[in-house]
Amino acid sequence: MYSHHTVRAYDDELTYLTRKIAAMGGHAERLVDQSVAALVNADVSLARKVIEDDALLDEAQREIDDKSILVIARRQPMAGDLREIIGAIRIASDLERVGDLAKSVAKRVMVVAEGRQPISLFRGLQALAELALTQLKEVLDVYASRSVERIEFVRDRDNQIDAMYTSLFRELLTYMMEDPRNITPCTHLLFCAKNIERIGDHATNIAETIYYVVTGDQMPVDRPKEDKSHRVTLPADKQ
Amino acid sequence: MYSHHTVRAYDDELTYLTRKIAAMGGHAERLVDQSVAALVNADVSLARKVIEDDALLDEAQREIDDKSILVIARRQPMAGDLREIIGAIRIASDLERVGDLAKSVAKRVMVVAEGRQPISLFRGLQALAELALTQLKEVLDVYASRSVERIEFVRDRDNQIDAMYTSLFRELLTYMMEDPRNITPCTHLLFCAKNIERIGDHATNIAETIYYVVTGDQMPVDRPKEDKSHRVTLPADKQ
């Protein structure tokens, strides 16, 4: 039998994982926020900081992975606790990807800064990033509170993000057609927009993982997708 | 103590996971192959098939996840077996993403088919896809054979894929600048190229997971990146 002390140590291990995920989440939020700020303000030194700091998320993921596997091997957890630990591994993987996506935005700051894009484009990107960040904050709150009844809102917001991304995609194509000098910077902005849209997808993945951790069930496979950007063509193409 | 029969059943469960991963891998390869064929041949009905078949990978991932968690809970595996099962969960997640990326290429077939792109562009995409597919096949072979000494080759090839992607990125920008009618289809082709490049990344992730499963160690964090596309600008922009 486990002694009281041993059980306490086990609880501490689970708490460690939960706290580490929360810290990773806060970190990921900051990187997203800073990468978009760097892009909008053409702040190359902030971009460099984001690129460097992404390594902290990689490291945190490894720590969570190692610790999770150690806990499984040592404690042989059942049902709920096992889901908790597998959930930590999954969420850490999504947060690590969010960091990669922020880094990918940051890497494009220099090229985009060389051109002069219309302010409305940056506003569009900022609005998209705000939605994605709200989404990320909300799932991290749901993770902390385990209030799965809020998960449907997360999915709805993901649809808004996709719709906003599609409209930004169209706007960027329009600028590219207006002036060939816009092509290179707008292409990089397109990839930035896509990265931000993907951050919303990872937030939704995290929401699905939390649902699984709390209920033991998987959410239904079919997730409605409002990203229609793959269909976007512009009349100007046919001229 | 486990009876002989029980141990046998446990072995069967582990073999089931390994076989399921191999099947998933074969499936993912086929989707990548077909999505690129659909793109190159403007084959809209093949593209539709890829989009539908991607659901099979989603389902396979769920099955592997559920089974893995069941095996951990039931068998309380130690060390090597535990790594094997955690590895299956990770690899299934990468293969599911490969399917998503193939689907994303397939979704763009219709829009790209509306334009007439230079044959050299498709050749570039095909070459990129062939490299990514070789990469994927090789890691699946390494998974079957557990010959981790081949893993360094996988990383080298990933660098080739990134370099080829960067050159394709540059070529696509050039076509966009030559004629505004190329902008929409070439933008979609850019995303296709990016998706294929990401498939190479997932193959590399899988290689890293296999390394971990076999050796118990993580591969070093720093992976050299040859994707320099975020820096690409063209002289024409400055005209």
Strand, coil or helix: B218: coil
CB A150 within 8 A of CB A142: yes
In a domain, A238, yes or no: no
Q: Answer whether residue B231 shows pLDDT above 90.
A: no
Instruction: Tell me the Ramachandran region of residue B216: left when phi exceeds 0, alpha when psi lies from -120 to 50, beta otherwise.
Output: left
CA-CA distance, B237 to A186, in Å (whole number)? 11
Strand, coil or helix: B16: helix
Asked if B230 lies within 8 A of A104 by C-beta distance, the reply is yes
Asked if B231 lies within 8 A of A110 by C-beta distance, the reply is yes
Confidence of residue B222 (pLDDT cuts 50, 70, 90): low
Share of chain B above pLDDT 90, in %: 63
Domain count, chain B: 1
Confidence of residue B238 (pLDDT cuts 50, 70, 90): very low
In a domain, A158, yes or no: yes
pLDDT at site A119: 78
In a domain, A73, yes or no: yes
Tell whether B187 is within 8 A of chain A (Cβ).
yes
Domain CATH code at residue A220: 1.20.58.220
Tell whether B56 is within 8 A of chain A (Cβ).
no
Three-class SS string for A93-137? HHHHHHHHHHHHHHHCHHHHHHCCCCHHHHHHHHHHHHHHHHHHH
In a domain, B62, yes or no: yes
Q: What are phi and psi of B43, to 5 degrees?
A: -95, 90
Interface of B with A in 141-170 (CB under 8 A): none
Q: Is the ipTM of this complex over 0.90?
A: no
pLDDT, tens only, B184-195 = 999 999 999 999
Q: Answer whether residue B237 shows pLDDT above 50.
A: no
Interface test with B, best of A61, A86, A117, A230 (most B CBs within 10 A): A230
If you measure CA to CA, which chain A residue comes closest to B237?
A181
Tell whether B97 is within 8 A of chain A (Cβ).
no
Q: Answer whether residue B3 shows pLDDT above 50.
A: no
pLDDT at site B21: 96
User: pLDDT tens per residue, chain A (239 residues)?
Assistant: 344 446 788 888 889 999 999 999 999 999 999 999 999 999 999 999 999 999 999 999 999 999 998 898 888 888 888 999 999 999 999 999 999 999 999 999 999 888 777 777 888 999 999 999 999 999 999 999 988 888 877 878 888 999 999 999 999 999 999 999 899 999 999 999 999 999 999 999 999 999 999 998 877 655 556 678 888 876 544 43
Choose the closest CB to B218 out of A62, A107, A237.
A62
Instruction: Provide the residue type at B170 as one letter.
Output: R
In a domain, A239, yes or no: no
Share of chain B above pLDDT 70, in %: 92
Residues 6+ apart with CB under 8 A from A210: A87, A91, A139, A142, A143, A146, A148, A151
Residue labelled with tokens 């809020």:
A150
If you measure CA to CA, which chain B residue comes closest to A180?
B177
Question: How big is the CA angle at B99 (ends A104 and B186), to the nearest 5 degrees?
Answer: 55
In a domain, A200, yes or no: yes
If you measure CA to CA, which chain B residue comes closest to A80?
B73
- Shortest distance between the Cα of A10 and any Cα of chain B, in A, equals 16
Contacts of A82 in chain B (CB under 8 A): 69, 72-73
Buried b (16+ CB within 10 A) or exposed e, A214-227: beeeebeeeeeeeb
CA-CA distance, B151 to B158, in Å (whole number)? 11
Tell whether A103 is within 8 A of chain B (Cβ).
no
In a domain, B238, yes or no: no
Asked if B72 lies within 8 A of A82 by C-beta distance, the reply is yes
pLDDT at site A238: 40
Indicate the burial class of B144 (C-beta count within 10 angstroms; 0-12, 13-18, 19 or more). middle
Give me the domain span that covers residue B124: 4-233
Torsion of CA B27, B65, A71, A16, to 10 degrees: 100
CA-CA distance, A196 to A43, in Å (whole number)? 18
Asked if A191 lies within 8 A of B194 by C-beta distance, the reply is yes
B11 vs B16, B18, B68, CA distance in Å? 8, 11, 13
Question: How big is the CA angle at A66 (ends A65 and A70), to the nearest 5 degrees?
Answer: 115
In a domain, A107, yes or no: yes
Residues 6+ apart with CB under 8 A from B6: none
